[in-house]
Structure 1
Amino acid sequence: MPKFKLNLRHQEKKLLVSEEIKMRRKNITMPENVVPNDPLEEFISKMATNPSLLIFRFLAKENSEATEDTLSEKLGMSKNLVRKLLYKLHDINVVVYRRVRDEETNYYIYYWKINWEGLAATLLERKKEVLKKLKEKAASEEGKVGIYYCKKCGREYTFDEALENDFRCKICNEPLEFTQKGKYEEFLQKYIKKLEEEIKIESERNYGS
């Protein structure tokens, strides 16, 4: 089963690369970066890949429904890729659809739009998950004088672990940097407080409580 999943990912990457080549030939640029400090785009890029941003941006700008055919034509993507990306966006609650049966062909036509209400709730839950992990991280740092970390891969080490590896990263073999506990804790607590405030505001806005 894991091998099958790996093959699926590989085929999907090949499809995206192939589509990007076609789009560049048509002078349609695939988004390489998300809009800075935009939590929506960061969330979509991480959970559904950067090409999905093209669909999200189009639907958000039009603020109306669009069929797979329309998205394919307007964005210069194949219908196959559009469908795959829409399913990814649907899986993370970014878009919703309604289907209407075509009386002539007897096939269903799918109309897609942004799920603004559901997306707000999804983002709120994601922030709660991040907050929980940050609090767990802060608790695990109690009692430590400081941490050693690799600037290249971000892996962290205790003093004993760093000493055992001659203060070099096990993964990258890069020299380890030292960060004092006070500065690290200050950063964690500052970010935790920021998230708590955002969650409170968004919870009141979404649920009125």
Structure 2
Amino acid sequence: MTTEKNTERRILVPAKKTRENPILKEILLRVSGTHGYEVANALIDQELTDEELAKKTGIRLNLVRRILYDLYENRIVNYRRVRDENTGWYIYYWHLEPERAISLYHTNQKLFLKKLEERLEHEKNTMFFSCKNSCPKVPFDEAAENDFKCPKCGKKLEYFDNSEIIAALERQIEALKQNLAGN
């Protein structure tokens, strides 16, 4: 954020490159939905005020502002603040920062990958038990402490085969690694 006297608009991002980026589209839709995607698309090749965005997109001004704040919190947009010489009020010129958004996406994907790998290790290194009532599975230590009776319903606990969970985690990890390597 900067405060400037200059109200000249700046073109910040090549529009064609940004509109075609599927990662950016996914981020925008997740963070702010369809309306947020429309607002961000309006910002692709120019800086606009919230009022200008509302006119351009046909979305109510208060919703545009809420979307901008959500996008700002997620570092997808930023603004330039300019003081109006006549009124003394600040005018905020919003612009899209796709590189930051994509960088944040990759960081989050790496964190998600790490959590999946930790979960996979836990699943591989732990023997689980469950009852027939679909209560949550429990690790061996907890099952032994409860004399192999379910802590929720009291039914007998039996060995739980988690090989399908392990296989699903391995597939998900591999797909995520390929996705990260391709971007």
TM-score for the superposition, normalised by structure 2: 0.63
Name the count of aligned residue pairs: 148
Alignment-derived partner of residue 171 in structure 2? 190
Is the alpha carbon distance of 1:156 and 1:110 closer, same or farther for their aligned partners in structure 2, counting shifts above 3 Å? farther
State the shift of 1:145 in Å: 5.5
Amino acid at match of 1:132: K
**1:112: how far off?**
1.4
Task: For residue 141 of structure 1, give the secondary structure of its aligned residue in structure 2.
Answer: helix
Among residues 58, 61, 66, which one is paired with 2:48 in the alignment?
A: 66
How far apart, in 1, do the equivalents of 2:43 and 2:69 lie?
A: 15
Matches of 1:65 and 1:117, distance apart in 2: 16
Counting only pairs closer than 5 Å after superposition, residues 36-115 of structure 1 correspond to structure 2 as 39-48=23-32, 51-60=35-44, 63-115=45-97
Q: In structure 1, how many angstroms separate the alpha carbons of the residues matched to 2:105 and 2:85?
A: 38
Return the alpha-carbon distance in structure 2 between the equivalents of residues 98 and 111 of structure 1: 5
Which of structure 1's runs of 4+ aligned residues deviate more than 6 A? none
Q: 1:104 to 1:46 in 2, by over 3 A?
A: same
Residues 156 and 54 of structure 1, relative CA distance in 2, 3 Å threshold: farther
Q: Is the 8 A contact 1:64 1:113 kept in 2?
A: yes
Whole-angstrom CA distance in 1 between matches of 2:56 and 2:149: 54
- Counterpart Cα distance in 2 of 1:163 and 1:50: 45
Q: Is 1:133 the equivalent of 2:154?
A: no
Mapping for residues 1-40 of structure 1, pairs under 5 Å: 39-40=23-24
Give 1:75 shift: 3.4
In the alignment, is the contact (CA less than 8 A) between 1:144 and 1:181 conserved in 2? no
Give the root-mean-square deviation of aligned CA atoms. 3.4
Percent identity of paired positions between Structure 1 and Structure 2: 27
Counterparts of residues 172-187 of structure 1 (less than 5 Å): 180-187=161-168
1:165 to 131, 152, 165: 152
Shift of 1:69: 0.5
In structure 1, what is the Cα distance between the partners aligned to 2:65 and 2:149? 48
Higher relative contact order (CA 8 A, sep 6+): 2
Provide structure 2 residue ranges, at least 5 long, that are not aligned to the other structure: 1-21
Q: TM-score, normalised by structure 1?
A: 0.56
